[in-house]
Amino acid sequence: MRAIPTSCRKIAAIASSNRGFFAGMVMKIVADENIPYVQQCFSSIGDVYALSGRAIGREAVADADVLLVRSITRVNADLLAGSKVRFVGTATIGVDHIDVDFLNRSNIGFASAPGSNANSAAEYVVAAVLEIAHDHQIQLRGASIGIIGVGNVGSRAAKKCTALGMKTKLNDPPLQRQAGNPKYLGIEELFDCDFITLHTPLTFQGPDKTFHLADHKFFQSLKPGCAFLNASRGAVVDSDALKAAIRAKKLKAVVLDVWENEPNIDVELLQMVDIGTPHVAGYSLDGKIGGMIMIYKATCKYFGLEAELGVADFLPEPDAAELELDVQVDSQEELRDVVRKVYDIREDGRRLRQVKDKPAEKRAAYFDSLRKNYPIRREFHNTRVVLAGRRKEIEGALDGIGFRVIDEQDARQKTR
């Protein structure tokens, strides 16, 4: 990764005031090394020991005060029983890998990062939908998309798809019960949509169980030729049912970012889908740093420390700070080209497909390496699009999916 903008002096100054708060004892922090800049940030309040998320075991956390994880580390009694850990933070929006009840019973503080990577995941949906539309010559304006799970990610995906001119149908039983809003439909009312995208947590019991929500019956109920996307959790989809639906030519296209049994993914299924990526929908640098700062602030608050670092201290300048677009006609292809210049989802797909060329025993490690060494990806709002010629539809779409749009004449005036 690039050098961070934060001055070493600033972190050192914060460290000198915070690190000795335990009457001369320095806090020990064990962290997933895949949290970007975790050492630079958290070294301001303690000694950071960064490990692979899958290598964080009982021995590693035994004498730690703080544990910081991402989704691949399961945090429960098996991991923490008998340890000194007093606070756990996960730099993720999901918490299905955390036994929150155990933490509560053990009086261990906890924080997650809800919403931190939601915009990144919603932009992933936009990129995927535009690619599918290109490949299958689908006009998105007027096409329908069913969004199952309308939390932080799903609600943003709905807004962005609306900006593309799509008709959205929403399904979220917990929200429907809570809000009583008729906009939340029964799942069967989404089955006639041209696209279906999943954004639910993974739950195994109760009325809203999502484990294998997309099963054989689900796929049989979909409109023939539906395009299916999953960027939630792998086990929300029954992989065998999905493969059967693909073989039966039930689906027009499939995009998967998440897989059952990660990192040991189903390579056969990967070869069958249109786009398959290594669980990176929410992996924008903006989202990752945002999640880190959320748990950094929560950690500081729990231990009574001053949180003096923020997102701006770590984000570098974007590569694509400005794009010029000479639009002759409103065009879905022009929109796709702009998105590709900032985030090329196909490149993520190409990298993952190389897993088939690896020996079977090395495929899981390769999957993990793609996540650990993920290239810098910035969110759309970091890029200003200068439009030569006003085209109402594409201008509104670019703005609606997150870009900053400015007319060419206005841009010239600002540079005078």
Which CATH fold topology does 8-116+283-313 show?
Rossmann fold (3.40.50)
Do 92 and 72 meet the contact criterion of CB atoms below 8 Å apart? no
How many CB atoms lie under 10 A from the CB of residue 261?
11
Token pair in block for residue 85:
């850990």
Residue 156 annotated among the catalytic residues of the structure: no
Residue 125 and residue 128: Cα distance in Å, rounded? 5
**What pLDDT, on a 0 to 100 scale, did the predictor assign at position 339?**
97
Q: Is the dihedral of CA 13, 16, 19, 22 positive or negative?
A: negative
- The single residue of 156, 199, 279, 377 carrying the catalytic annotation is 279
Q: What 3-state class would DSSP assign to 24? A: coil
- Label the pairing between strands 226-230 and 109-111: unpaired
Q: State the span(s) of the chain assigned CATH 3.40.50.720.
A: 8-116+283-313, 122-276
- The single residue of 233, 336, 378, 391 carrying the catalytic annotation is 233
Q: State the span(s) of the chain assigned CATH 3.30.1370.170.
A: 322-415
Which architecture, in CATH terms, is 122-276?
3-Layer(aba) Sandwich (3.40)
Residue 174: burial class (beta carbons within 10 Å; 0-12, 13-18, 19+): middle
pTM above 0.85, yes or no: yes
Token pair in block for residue 415:
């540079």
Residue 33 annotated among the catalytic residues of the structure: no
Residue 287 and residue 86: Cα distance in Å, rounded? 26
How many whole angstroms from its chain centre is CA 108? 26
- The single residue of 123, 131, 260, 262 carrying the catalytic annotation is 262
**What pLDDT, on a 0 to 100 scale, did the predictor assign at position 410?**
57
Which CATH fold topology does 322-415 show?
Ribosomal Protein S8; Chain: A, domain 1 (3.30.1370)
Per-residue pLDDT of the chain (416 residues; tens, 9 = 90+): 444 455 455 555 555 555 545 445 789 999 999 999 999 999 999 999 999 999 999 999 999 999 999 989 999 999 999 999 999 999 998 898 999 999 999 999 999 999 999 999 999 999 999 999 999 999 999 999 999 999 999 999 999 999 999 999 999 999 999 989 999 999 999 999 999 999 999 999 999 999 999 999 999 999 999 999 999 999 999 999 999 999 999 999 999 999 999 999 999 999 999 999 999 999 999 999 999 999 999 999 999 999 999 999 999 999 999 999 887 665 899 999 999 999 999 999 999 999 999 999 999 999 999 998 999 999 999 999 998 866 778 899 999 999 999 876 555 555 44
Residue 306 annotated among the catalytic residues of the structure: no
Preceding omega of 318 cis (within 30 degrees of 0):
no
Instruction: Report DSSP letters for 208-263, one per residue.
Output: T--TT-B-HHHHHHSPTTEEEEE-S-GGGB-HHHHHHHHHTT-EEEEEES--TTTT
